[in-house]
């Protein structure tokens, strides 16, 4: 916990972020470029054919949609318990990024579902839980926009992040708990991945690239948010003078 308190100083955090973000940005470019190149060379699924290529965008987006909400929940807990200002900022600026990945998950899932299932949408357990996650992201963003007091907004949003985290295991285990149309897990499952290495390697590279992309944008957005809060504080002080 000492490290968390050490990073609570925005100035110290900014110095670290400025050093780390270029490295993350470069890593993002390399991982995405290699992952995309290998995904184009990967064979198509024997059953699903060409539409199976969508999995290289759909699966990493789905992982990120859940991962980011998990980050927000942990950051919100830290902000609530230890009054950690940087954790509060991390949770806030992550929400639009998570919403984007969730929307991409639903869109690519629809494009994959049409040729595979014959329809763009069904009220399948996993699809419905993922849609609920998108609504949670939108609700979280709306709280910050609707409540003017940053402390009240942060507390209310943090509670939603923690309560909403209940949806994450529902998304993950929905294909095991219910008889759903969505195919069962083929990578994160007992016995190891069931897909060939020629498809698994680019998929994992793209997933790592998406994660590096998220952390790059997270640091940039946190820098902008900290700068914006400093400007607002200066304006308040000048107005009171």
DSSP-derived secondary structure for the chain? -HHHHHTTSHHHHHHHHHHHHHHHHHHHHHHHHHHHHHHHHSPPBTTTBGGGGGHHHHHHHHHHHHHHHHHHHHHHHHHHHH--HHHHHHHHHHHHHHHHHHHHHHHHHHHHHHHHHSSS----HHHHHHHHHHHHHHHHHHHHHH--SHHHHHHHHHHHHHHHTTHHHHHHHHHHHS--SSPPPSSSSTTS--S-HHHHHHHHHHHHHHHHHHHHHHHHHHHHHHHHHHHHHHHHHHHH-
Position 188 scores a pLDDT of: 62
pTM of the shown model: 0.91
Q: What does each of the 241 residues of the chain score in pLDDT, given as a tens digit? A: 445 555 667 888 899 999 999 999 999 999 999 999 999 999 887 667 677 789 999 999 999 999 999 999 999 999 999 988 899 999 999 999 999 999 999 999 999 888 878 888 889 899 999 999 999 999 999 999 999 999 999 999 999 999 999 999 999 998 777 777 677 666 666 666 668 888 899 999 999 999 999 999 999 999 999 999 888 888 888 787 6
Query: What is the model's pLDDT at position 2?
Result: 46
Residue 240's pLDDT is what?
A: 78
Domain parsing of the chain, residue ranges: 20-178+196-240
């Amino acid at each position: 916990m000492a490290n968390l308190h050490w990073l609570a100083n925005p100035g110290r955090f900014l110095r670290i972020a400025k050093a780390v973000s270029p490295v993350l940005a470069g890593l993002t470019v390399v991982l995405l470029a290699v992952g995309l190149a290998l995904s184009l060379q990967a064979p198509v699924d024997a059953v699903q054919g060409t539409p199976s290529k969508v999995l290289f965008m759909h699966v990493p987006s789905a992982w990120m949609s859940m991962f980011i909400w998990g980050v927000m929940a942990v950051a919100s807990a830290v902000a609530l318990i230890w009054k950690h200002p940087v954790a509060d900022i991390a949770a806030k600026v992550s929400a639009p990024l998570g919403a984007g990945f969730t929307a991409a998950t639903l869109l690519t899932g629809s494009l994959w579902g049409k040729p595979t299932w014959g329809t763009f949408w069904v009220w399948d357990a996993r699809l419905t839980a993922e849609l609920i996650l998108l609504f949670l992201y939108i609700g979280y963003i709306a709280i910050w926009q609707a409540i003017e007091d940053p402390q009240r907004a942060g507390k209310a949003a943090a509670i939603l992040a923690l309560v909403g985290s209940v949806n994450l295991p529902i998304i993950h285990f929905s294909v095991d708990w219910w008889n759903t149309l969505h195919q069962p897990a083929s990578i994160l499952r007992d016995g190891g991945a069931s897909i060939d290495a020629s498809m698994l390697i680019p998929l994992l590279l793209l997933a790592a690239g998406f994660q590096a992309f998220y952390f790059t944008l997270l640091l940039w957005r946190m820098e902008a948010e900290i700068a914006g809060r400093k400007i607002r504080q200066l304006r308040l002080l000048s107005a009171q003078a």
